[in-house]
Amino acid sequence: MKAKLTVIKIGGEIINNSEKLDSFLSDFSRLDEPKILIHGGGKIATALSAKLGIETRMHEGRRITSKENLDVVTMVYAGLINKNITASLQSRECNAIGLSGADANTILASKRPLKPTDYGFVGDIQSINSKVIDTFIENQMVPIFSAICHDGKGLLLNTNADTIATEIAIAMSAKYDTELIYCFDKKGVLMDVNDEDSVVENINTEGYRNLREQNVIHDGMLPKMENAFHALNNNVSKVMIGNTNFIKNRTEAHTLLTL
């Protein structure tokens, strides 16, 4: 039987709220090992860009990463947020090691093609170095990934944190019975976005198709769901979506995804 591995991704909403982040890190440190955390960046990068007079350009709701933006997210994600999370976990007896995809060549990405839209310094994941990630785990370290990858040619690339979590979970599934949790500010997928008690507890492939047709799942939730089913189709054992309460207590409401 394979050993269990928990892969958790936390979004900007948690990082923006220091009380919530603190409480999450406390819960995360108490989870059984092995485990891996992937974090996004949140508003800090946007706020820093604004202070520095750097424009944040968007195309169809997606951020364009200029060279100046890349420097800001490298500073904020891989520096400020990653090292503070790591230090905080270390104080909770969790042997965290903060990483970007460049570190020990853990995640190789390629710069997204300029056509049809030039998103700038944005990376699409090429490969996950599961062997080296496992070296950390086997040496009792807990990898904490910021959403910065590299192209192997010296370039850092801004990469979607949900996608990193998904691809890491898939890669680690060869050795581990892997559970993937997308943790954000809602209790799960909601039938009514304004009603926190309308959590859809189970979604399978067919249910997903129906919810999409009913327009219950749209916008930002769509790529998350695509990632989730991509993980399930590639040997990840279990995929869940929930908020921080669910990390503390697994009986709390959440959405469980199955094929």
Residues in touch with a copy of itself (CB under 8 A):
51-52, 71, 74-80, 82-84, 86-88, 90-91, 95-100, 102-105, 132, 135-136, 139, 141, 148, 150, 152-156
Which residues, other chains included, contact 97 with Cβ-Cβ below 8 Å and sequence gap of 6+?
86, 136, 141, 142, 143, 144
Residue the block writes with tokens 């009514």: 192
Nearer to a copy of itself, 87 or 193 (CB): 87
Residue the block writes with tokens 């954000």: 184
Nearer to a copy of itself, 22 or 118 (CB): 22
CB of 191 to a copy of itself, least distance (A): 39
Nearer to a copy of itself, 25 or 216 (CB): 25
CB of 16 to a copy of itself, least distance (A): 15
Question: Which letter does DSSP use for residue 80 in this model?
Answer: I
Give CA–CA dist 24/12, Å, rounded. Answer: 13
CB of 225 to a copy of itself, least distance (A): 31
Which residues, other chains included, contact 135 with Cβ-Cβ below 8 Å and sequence gap of 6+?
none
Which residues, other chains included, contact 149 with Cβ-Cβ below 8 Å and sequence gap of 6+?
100, 101, 102, 107, 108, 109, 123, 125, 156, 157, 159, 164
Which residues, other chains included, contact 233 with Cβ-Cβ below 8 Å and sequence gap of 6+?
259
CB of 153 to a copy of itself, least distance (A): 5
Nearer to a copy of itself, 157 or 200 (CB): 157
CB of 169 to a copy of itself, least distance (A): 22
Nearer to a copy of itself, 139 or 215 (CB): 139
Nearer to a copy of itself, 18 or 234 (CB): 18
CB of 134 to a copy of itself, least distance (A): 11
Rounded to 5°, angle at Cα 81 from 76 and 85: 165
Is 188 in contact with 196 (CB distance < 8 Å)? no
